Amino acid sequence: MKISLEISVWLLTTLLATGICLQCERCESATRSCSGPLQTCKGPQSACLTLTVETRVGKMRKVATYKGCTKLEYCPLGPFTITTAPEERIRSNSECCCQDHCNKGALRLPLLSEPNQRWCPPRNLRGSTCTIGDKVFCHGREVYCIYLSGYAAAGSKNETFVRQGCGTQHICTDKLGIFGIPGLFLETLTKADCNQANEIDYSDFRDLSWN
């Protein structure tokens, strides 16, 4: 009886210790990786997250990497690519892990693949019904038409976003909620729609060439 009590007390303290004292690297950078000091996770935070996002608009390229403690339910679903306009592509990777200092190093971004014979409707320009072109052509594994909207907060900014176009499986989520790292980068997804992308109908092109 006494032994088992000691064992359960020991087990309890060990569990509490590992649950409370998870340590994760915390940093942010405008590059594909970052490293920083270890942070002791608090309360319900039980995962270390690494998140890298690259946005390309024409020749402009913007990258951001964030690392830190987070709640398990704030973990994004993993790698994805999105095409939102002919010259606008986003790719991202993320990973959550639950051991001390497991979020070191860099994540590999998914490849920017070639067009895949599918298309989605483009998004409307802000506050108007005009669109950029009439089709967004999808790439690689982007076989879904997506519509995502919500808020993205980083630093002192908190802005609304709408992403519409082609996307891969992992971005095609019906899980609304919050993703990211408190205090560094948090995305609140308030609306997510997802449908199979359209196949290009080559008879359209044949008709054109005969006219």
Ligand X SMILES: *[C@@H]1O[C@H](CO)[C@@H](O)[C@H](O)[C@H]1NC(C)=O
Question: CA-CA distance, 34 to 153, in Å (whole number)?
Answer: 19
Token readout for 16 is: 């509490």
In the chain, what is the greatest distance between 2 CA atoms, to the nearest angstrom?
Answer: 92
Which CB, 14 or 158, lies closer to ligand X? 158
Considering the complex, state which of residue 114 and residue 159 has its C-beta at the smaller distance from ligand X: 159
Choice between 113 and 190, CB closer to ligand X: 190
At residue 110, what are phi and psi to the nearest 5 degrees? -60, 150
Encoded amino acid at 162, one letter: V
**Distance in Å, CB of 163 to ligand X, minimum:** 16
Closest approach of Cβ 186 to ligand X, in Å? 4
Q: Which residue number, 145 or 186, has a Cβ lying nearer to ligand X?
A: 186
3-state class of 207 per DSSP?
helix
Minimum distance between the CB of residue 118 and ligand X, rounded to whole angstroms?
33
For 63, counting Cβ atoms within 10 Å of its Cβ (0-12 exposed, 13-18 middle, 19+ buried), the class is: middle
Q: From CA 151, how far away is CA 40, in angstroms rounded? A: 27
Residues forming the site for ligand X (CB under 6 A): 151, 153, 158, 186, 188
Q: Which helix or strand (DSSP H or E) is residue 205 part of?
A: helix 202-210
| Between 90 and 186, CB nearer to ligand X | 186
Q: How far is Cα 193 from Cα 165, in angstroms, rounded to an integer? A: 11
| Minimum distance of ligand X from residue 177's CB (angstroms) | 12
Q: Which residue has the CB atom at the shortest distance from ligand X?
A: 153
* Nearest approach, Cβ of residue 101 and ligand X (Å): 26
